[in-house]
């Protein structure tokens, strides 16, 4: 089954102490850290495309554009959603958002590139 525009996935997280700006050293407040938000939208993007790739393929991150709009306290649940919006050769663009029970937490775009796992790892050595 080929990758197609409109494929989507969601990832849910109950924010814990390990997810905070303090823990990730990106700030001094006990709220959901922006780097953790980035990781969530990347995870949702991988899951949106993963089932349609060949066994020897994966996607790697290329670009993240994200507006982190609202704080989320420890104990709250956030949901990251990623939807494929465009495919250009091996590049796949995703529209992403993160919400909690109070509304929009973050919004943006992620670009990932389809790679052959063995060839990519050979380049990394």
Q: Report CA 34 to chain centroid distance, whole Å.
A: 12
On whether the CB atoms of residues 66 and 31 are closer than 8 A, the answer is no
Interatomic CA distance for residues 22 and 7, integer angstroms: 34
pLDDT tens by residue, 86-117: 999 999 999 999 999 999 999 999 999 999 99
pLDDT tens by residue, 23-65: 999 999 999 999 999 999 999 999 999 889 999 999 999 999 9
The predicted model scores a pTM of: 0.94
Whole-number Cα distances in Å, 55 to 52, 87, 109: 9, 19, 26
Annotated domain spans of the chain? 8-124
**8-124 has which fold?**
Thiol Ester Dehydrase; Chain A (3.10.129)
Interatomic CA distance for residues 105 and 90, integer angstroms: 29
Between the two ends of the chain, the Cα-to-Cα distance in Å is: 31
């Amino acid at each position: 089954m080929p990758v197609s525009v409109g494929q989507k996935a969601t990832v849910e997280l109950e924010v814990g102490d390990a997810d905070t700006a303090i823990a990730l050293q990106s700030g001094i407040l006990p709220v959901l850290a922006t780097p953790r938000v980035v990781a969530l939208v990347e995870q949702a993007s991988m899951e949106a495309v993963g089932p349609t790739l060949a066994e020897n393929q994966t996607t790697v991150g290329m670009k993240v554009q994200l507006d982190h709009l609202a704080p989320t306290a420890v104990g709250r649940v956030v949901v990251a959603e990623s939807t494929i919006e465009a495919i250009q050769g091996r590049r796949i663009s995703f529209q992403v958002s993160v919400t909690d029970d109070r509304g929009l937490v973050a919004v943006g775009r992620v670009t990932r590139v389809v790679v052959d796992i063995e060839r990519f790892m050979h380049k990394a050595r």
